[in-house]
Amino acid sequence: MESFGARLHRAMRERGPLCVGIDPHPALLAQWGLGDDVAGLERFARTVVDALGDRVAVVKPQSAFFERFGSQGMAVLESTIRQLRNLGSLVLLDAKRGDIGSTVRAYASAYLDPSSPMYVDAVTASPFLGVGSLAPMFELAAEHGGGVFVLALTSNPEGASVQRARSADGRSVAQTVLDEISQLNAGAEPIGSVGAVIGATVGKTDCDLSGVNGPLLAPGLGAQGATAADLRVVFGSAVPAVLPAYSREVLGAGPDPAALRAAADRAVTECRAVLAMS
Ligand X SMILES: O=c1ccn([C@@H]2O[C@H](COP(=O)(O)O)[C@@H](O)[C@H]2O)c(=O)[nH]1
Binding site for ligand X (CB under 6 A): 21, 23, 62, 94, 154-155, 197, 199, 219-220, 222-224, 245-249
Minimum gap (Å) between residue 92 Cβ and ligand X? 10
Beta carbons of 215 and 191 less than 8 angstroms apart: yes
Distances (CA, A) of 174 to 80, 91, 170, 210, 216: 32, 25, 11, 14, 13
In the complex with ligand X, the residue whose CB is nearer, 125 or 184, is 125
Residue 277, Cβ density class (10 Å: 0-12 exposed, 13-18 middle, ≥19 buried): exposed
Active-site amino acid positions: 96
In the complex with ligand X, the residue whose CB is nearer, 94 or 121, is 94
Q: How many CB atoms are closer than 10 A to CB 206?
A: 9
Q: How far apart are CA 217 and CA 181, in angstroms?
A: 13
In the complex with ligand X, the residue whose CB is nearer, 48 or 142, is 48
Q: How far apart are CA 66 and CA 71, in angstroms?
A: 9
Q: How far apart are CA 83 and CA 86, in angstroms?
A: 5
- DSSP conformational letter for 133: G
Minimum gap (Å) between residue 1 Cβ and ligand X? 28
Minimum gap (Å) between residue 12 Cβ and ligand X? 18
Q: 3-class SS at 94?
A: strand
Q: 3-class SS at 246?
A: strand
Q: How many CB atoms are closer than 10 A to CB 236?
A: 15
In the complex with ligand X, the residue whose CB is nearer, 21 or 40, is 21
Minimum gap (Å) between residue 201 Cβ and ligand X? 8
**Strand residue runs (E) in 90-130:** 90-97, 122-125
Residue-by-residue DSSP string for 173-217: HHHHHHHHHHHHHTT-SS--SEEEEE-TTS-S-----TT--S-EE
Minimum gap (Å) between residue 48 Cβ and ligand X? 13
In the complex with ligand X, the residue whose CB is nearer, 186 or 229, is 229
In the complex with ligand X, the residue whose CB is nearer, 65 or 142, is 65
Minimum gap (Å) between residue 189 Cβ and ligand X? 27
